[in-house]
Amino acid sequence: MEYLLTDEQKMAREMAGKFADKELKPIADRLDREHTHSPEVLKALAEMGVLGVAVPEEYGGGGMDYVSYALIVAEISRGCGGTGTIVAAHNSLYCYPMLKFGTEEQKQRFLVPCASGASIGCYALTESDAGSDPAAMRTTARLDGDSWVINGEKKFITSGNIADYCVFAASTDRSKGYKGISQFVCDLRETPGFKVGRVEEKLGINASGTAELIFEDARIPKENILGEQGAGLRQMLETLDSGRISIAAQALGIGRAVLEESIEYAKARTQFGKPIAEFQAIQWKIADMATQLDAAELLIVRAAWLEDHGLPFEKEAAMAKMFASDTAMQAAIEGVQILGGYGYCKDYPMERHMRDVKITQIYEGTNEIQRLVIARNLLGKRK
C-alpha cells in the first residue's frame, strides 16, 4: 500500500491516526454510551483541516486530495465510528455539493463557515417513503415572490441535530417525478418554519446524532437554489458517488479496529495452556480479516484516485463501498467470535464495532443498490 501513496498522503494518514489513538479511542465508549458527540474533538479536527479536507484553502478548507481524505476518514473511524460519520457526512454530503454546484456567492456564505470547521453542515435527502427511490420524494419547494416555501419532513439526517447549515432536496414540480427535483441550501438558524424533530435511538454510531428535519411553510431566499431548477437528481447522484468512498473508508477504519483488537486479545487470551493465537482456527480468521481489509483499502484508494484525476468513478465507488462494508461487517462478526463471551459484553469495544459498522452496509445507498449500480455500469445503463 505504501508505494501507492505520496509523502503528503502518508502524512495525512499519520496525523489522523495519531489523533485517533490519543484523542478518540479513550472517549469512544463514553460517546457511545451517552449518545453524544464531543465539541472539543470537532474543534480540534477543524484546526487540523479535517472538516474541509478536500475544499481549497481559499474557501477555508484543508486543500488536500480525495485519497488523503479517504485515509483520514478511515483513521478517524478506527478511533470512533460515530465521529467518523460526522466527518464523512460533513465533508462529502455538505461541503462537496456546495463546492461543486454552488455559485461564488453561495460558497462564500455557506461553504466557508463549514469548510473552516466553524459550523457543521448536513445533507437532507431521505424521507419516510423516499430513500432508494428519490422520485417518491414528498418535500416540496414552491416559489413565492423572492422566496421558496418548503414543506416536508426529512428522515435519518446525520448531524441534523447539531447542524447550522443544510443542503436538501425538494420537488419543485411533482408532475415531473425525479426530473422535478432540485437542491437547495439554507442556514437552519435563520429559516422560519424549520425545526428539528425526533432524534433517533440507534443500534450504533451513537456519537453521531441522526435527526428528523421538519419544514412547515419554511421560507428561504430565492437565490438559495443550487444550480438549475430540476438538476437535483443529477447533483444528488454525483454527491452520493463521492460520498460512498468516504463510507467505504469509514467501514475500513472500523474493520481495522476490529483486526487490531482481535490480534491483541488472541495473543493475551490463553486456553489449554497456550495463547489462542496459536490455534489454527483463530489464525485463519485473522488472516482472512487482514487480507480482505487490505483488498478493500486498494478499492478505496483506486476510487479516490480516479476522483482526484477527474475520471469516471461511479462503478469503482460502488465497488469500494459494497466490498469494504461487507468485509468490515464480516470482520466484526468474527471479532466477536474470537473474543467469545467478552466480545458480547460492553467491557470490550468489539461489540460497539459490530454495532457501528452495520450502518455502512445501509446508508448512502444500500449494498443492494451498489450491486445494481455496478451491474448497470457493466451491462449498460438503461435509457
| Structural domain count of the chain | 3
Same domain, yes or no: 12 and 23: yes
Residue 164: its pLDDT value, please? 98
Residue ending a domain, among 187, 207, 230, is 230
Residue ending a domain, among 87, 115, 143, is 115
pLDDT, tens only, 38-84: 999 999 999 999 999 999 999 999 999 999 999 999 999 999 999 99
What is the spatial distance between Cα 91 and Cα 51, in angstroms, rounded to a whole number? Answer: 6
Same domain, yes or no: 265 and 353: yes
- Candidates 261, 314, 351, 364; catalytic one: 364
Angle at 42 between CA 259 and CA 53, to 5 degrees: 75
pLDDT, tens only, 291-350: 999 999 999 999 999 999 999 999 999 999 999 999 999 999 999 999 999 999 999 999
Same domain, yes or no: 239 and 364: yes
Distance of CA 337 to the CA centre of its chain: 27
Domain of 39, CATH number, reads: 1.10.540.10
Same domain, yes or no: 258 and 214: no
Cell of residue 121, nine digits: 453542515
Cell of residue 145, nine digits: 415572490
Domain of 314, CATH number, reads: 1.20.140.10
Same domain, yes or no: 291 and 328: yes
Residue of 189, 118, 184 lying closest to 154 (CA atoms): 184
More confident residue, 181 or 135: 181
What is the spatial distance between Cα 308 and Cα 300, in angstroms, rounded to a whole number? Answer: 12
Residue 383 has pLDDT above 50, yes or no: no
Annotated catalytic residue 364: yes
Containing structural domain, residue 88: 2-115
pLDDT-above-90 percentage for the chain: 95
Residue ending a domain, among 57, 89, 115, is 115
Same domain, yes or no: 128 and 265: no
Same domain, yes or no: 150 and 276: no
Same domain, yes or no: 163 and 71: no
* pLDDT band with cut points at 50, 70 and 90 for residue 265: very high
Same domain, yes or no: 216 and 256: no
Same domain, yes or no: 222 and 304: no
* pLDDT band with cut points at 50, 70 and 90 for residue 1: low
Distances (CA, A) of 115 to 43, 118, 383: 12, 8, 37
Query: Please, what is the average pLDDT of the chain?
Result: 96
Same domain, yes or no: 238 and 375: yes
Same domain, yes or no: 261 and 360: yes
Domain of 134, CATH number, reads: 2.40.110.10
